[in-house]
Structure formats: C-alpha cells, structure tokens
Structure 1
Amino acid sequence: MKPIKIITLVAIVIIIGFMYVSVQSSPVLSDEKYSYLGGLTWNKNIDEGFRIAQEQNKPILVYFWAQWCKYCEQLETKTLPNEKVSKILKNDFVLVAIDLDEQGEVAQRYGVSYPPHEIFLDKNGNIITRIPGYVDANRFLMELNEVKQSV
C-alpha cells in the first residue's frame, strides 16, 4: 500500500474515533419526558407541569430555551447551578422546560419569541411575572423570592 493511502486511512480512523468519543461524552439534554438543564430536572410537558403544581400547591417556572442559544447556556452554567437558586427551584417550584425548536406552539401561547425567557405561573396558570433574557444568580434569586411571597 502506498504511504499516502496509509496516512489517509489513519487520518480517517482518528477522525471517526474523535467523533465517536465526542458524541459519547456529550451531555444528555433531554429524553422523552424530561430535560436536564442547569443541574435540574425539568418536565417537558406543560400540562403535566400544571397537574403537578395543582397536586403539590406550587408555582410553576416555565423556562423557554434552545440548544443554539448562547444566553441559555450562560443561564444553565452560571445562574441555575447557583446553590441558593437550585435549592429554591428544587423545593418550591414545579419546573417546565420548553425547547422553542420542538414546542413553538407553547411559546406562541405565552408570547415568547426568543430564548432564554422564564415565565412564572401560579398553580392555575396565571402569569405572575416573566424574565426575558439572561439574568445573573442574584437577580434570579430576587425574582424567585418575590414570586414565592406573592403566591
């Protein structure tokens, strides 16, 4: 075999190997029922979120996001994993994540046209407040506490 063919073959094998490792090490963002964002588990079905909110008597945080959204990535790596933010979200809210590319009709229902966008709802579906765009952990904590006090 000629050296050029051997080098080409080795390069192809290396590229395929890197692609395989890259795919295997990518984080799972969602499955059929849930999205896993910012270290939290989010329901993907808003109707299921309402059912849980009624059952547990909790407000709902609906997080509108997209994989291509750089500000969503910042929210998921800086704001949501914050210890205080994460604790309040896990204990006091029903979490619903809506991927704009998969569930655009839900975004339209709430007037959301770009991510990230967070809407806080009471257990009956009434809008309490909304946060359009990226906010840091301190601002997010302030909003969480205001929502908790209002319900």
Structure 2
Amino acid sequence: MYMKKWIFVLLALIGLTSGYLYMQPDDPGAGKITLQGLNFHADLQPALLEASSQGKPVFVYFRSEYCGWCKKFEEETFTNQSVIKTLNENFILVSIDVYRQKNETRDFKVRGTPAEIFLDSNGTEIKRIPGYTETEVFLDIVNKIAKYKEA
C-alpha cells in the first residue's frame, strides 16, 4: 500500500513537470509565441533590435489569456491570409501579455485589451488601436503603415 502511494506521487510529479516543460516556450521570457498563423516575439527588446537592423516597423499586440475580445480578434484577424502575409512581410511582431508583462503594459500606458501599437524601426509610436477592431479595418491600417514604411 505504501509503495502504491509513492508511485502515484511520482507519476503525479512527472505529469505536472511535463506540463510545465511543455508550457515553457509560450512563456514571455522564452522568446517566441505563436498566435494562429503568426509568430511573435514575446519580448520587445529583441524585436526592436531586429526592426532596426531590417528597417521594418514593429507591431505590438497587447493581450490577455482571459480577454474574450482578444480571442475573437485572434480567431478572425490572425487567421486572415491577407493579414498574415502583410504582417509577416512588413513588420516585426511582438505579443505582450498584460498580466505577465506589467512593466511593458505600464510603459505603453495600455489600459485594456486587445490593444495594438505600431512603432517605427526606432521604437517611436506610429499608431495606436485601442480595443477590438474588425479584420478589414485592421488590414486597411496595416496596409497604410506598410506603404508609409516603403515611401
């Protein structure tokens, strides 16, 4: 009986540890996160360095796991092939979890989610979109910023 308890405890620990290890890559400190069809940096500084070296603007997406409007935005907008293509080709992408990355959220004065902020390659804010945005409206904004970058 005593041995069965230890085996159960050992299996439970292995299960919990494997879940933790599996979740590590999406942790903000781990470097990258995937949302639908897009790969995001999970930290602003490496993204800004990449943007500076490539001369591309930065798309910073502020979100929360518990935000229903974020989920709706991700399911509708981040699965749109035109959005995916335009963001991947013209921007460096960053995802900020407002609950885990409170310093960045405070620094950008983000008060609600979702929030999208576009920065130039030097880190200066170009445009801010607070709240949920329809896919076509978002795509129009993204295309204008991409064209502005090219000019």
Q: Structure 1 stretches (4+) deviating beyond 4 angstroms?
A: none
Specify the code of the residue in structure 1 equivalent to 2:52: Q
Q: What is the distance in 1 between the residues matched to 2:90 and 2:83?
A: 11
Specify the code of the residue in structure 2 equivalent to 1:80: F
Is 2:134 the counterpart of 1:143?
A: no
Unaligned runs of 5+ in 2: 1-18
What is the SS of the residue equivalent to 1:138?
helix
Q: Give the structure 1 partner of residue 124 of structure 2.
A: 126
What is the SS of the residue equivalent to 1:112?
coil
What is the SS of the residue equivalent to 2:26?
coil
Unaligned runs of 5+ in 1: 1-22
Alpha-carbon RMSD across the aligned residues, in angstroms, is 2.0
Q: What are the Cα deviations for residues 34-85 of structure 1, in whole angstroms up to 9, with x where unaligned?
A: 1111221100110001001011110000000000000000111001110100
What is the SS of the residue equivalent to 1:77?
helix
Q: Give the structure 2 partner of residue 9 of structure 1.
A: none
Specify the code of the residue in structure 2 equivalent to 1:47: Q
Q: Give the structure 1 partner of residue 44 of structure 2.
A: 46
Specify the code of the residue in structure 2 equivalent to 1:116: P
Q: Normalising by the residue count of structure 2, what TM-score does the alignment of the two structures yield?
A: 0.79
Is 2:110 the counterpart of 1:112?
A: yes
What does 1:46-125 correspond to in 2, within 5 Å? 46-125=44-123
Structure with greater proportional helix content: 2
Q: Is the 8 A contact 1:38 1:75 kept in 2?
A: no
Specify the code of the residue in structure 2 equivalent to 1:106: E
Larger Rg: 1
Specify the code of the residue in structure 2 equivalent to 1:115: T
What is the SS of the residue equivalent to 1:114?
coil
Q: What is the distance in 2 between the residues matched to 1:90 and 1:55?
A: 16
